[in-house]
């Protein structure tokens, strides 16, 4: 299996985007956050290898998760990092929502599955036991019909 490589066009777009982004965030984020952005967007850090930022929007998310994710020890403030990565609060909230459902084994794009998950999630232990018994009865009688 051949490793995916970054095209010249992707590389140019990567550096153009991050160059513009660094100018846009100047004096809007702390020196610490700006230094982290400079470090992680270095010329040799674009690619598909572990630890590199992927081209395009994925690279913005890579950097966001690198600086704020569970493995990052919260290197930078999440709000500053969101600004530095060119992400909006809406995009981050949607990502958090999707991750919540995926972590719980629910397809975030399946509205029925999300509603069912939320319904069960709101049930008390007694209500859940009752619902399980009801479904078990329904399943056992469905085989006899």
Give the model's pLDDT for residue 2: 63
Give the model's pLDDT for residue 3: 76
Contact between 51 and 29 (Cβ < 8 Å): no
Contact between 66 and 72 (Cβ < 8 Å): yes
What is the sign, positive or negative, of the torsion defined by CA atoms of 30, 53, 18, 61? Answer: negative
Contact between 81 and 68 (Cβ < 8 Å): yes
Domain residue extents for the chain: 1-87, 88-145
Taking 80 as the threshold, does the pLDDT of residue 145 lie above it?
A: no
pLDDT digits (tens, 9 = 90+) for 20-56: 999 999 899 999 999 999 999 988 889 998 889 999 9
**pTM score, two decimals?**
0.77
Q: Can you read off the two tokens belonging to residue 28?
A: 């809007």
pLDDT digits (tens, 9 = 90+) for 57-116: 999 999 999 999 877 777 899 999 999 999 999 999 999 999 999 999 999 999 999 999
Give the model's pLDDT for residue 119: 93
Give the model's pLDDT for residue 97: 96
Q: Can you read off the two tokens belonging to residue 14?
A: 């990567």
């Amino acid at each position: 299996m051949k490793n995916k490589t970054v095209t010249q066009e992707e590389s140019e777009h990567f550096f153009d985007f991050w160059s513009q982004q660094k100018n846009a965030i100047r004096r809007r984020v702390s020196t610490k956050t700006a230094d982290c952005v400079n470090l992680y967007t270095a010329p040799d850090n674009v690619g598909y290898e572990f630890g590199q930022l992927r081209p395009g929007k994925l690279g913005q998310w890579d950097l966001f998760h690198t600086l704020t994710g569970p493995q990052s020890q919260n290197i930078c403030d999440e709000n500053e990092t969101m600004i530095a990565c060119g992400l909006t609060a809406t995009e981050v909230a949607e990502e958090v929502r999707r991750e919540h459902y995926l972590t719980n084994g629910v397809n975030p794009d399946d509205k029925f599955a999300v509603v069912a998950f939320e319904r069960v999630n709101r049930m008390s232990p007694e209500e859940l036991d009752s619902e399980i018994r009801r479904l078990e009865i329904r399943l056992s009688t469905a085989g006899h019909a």
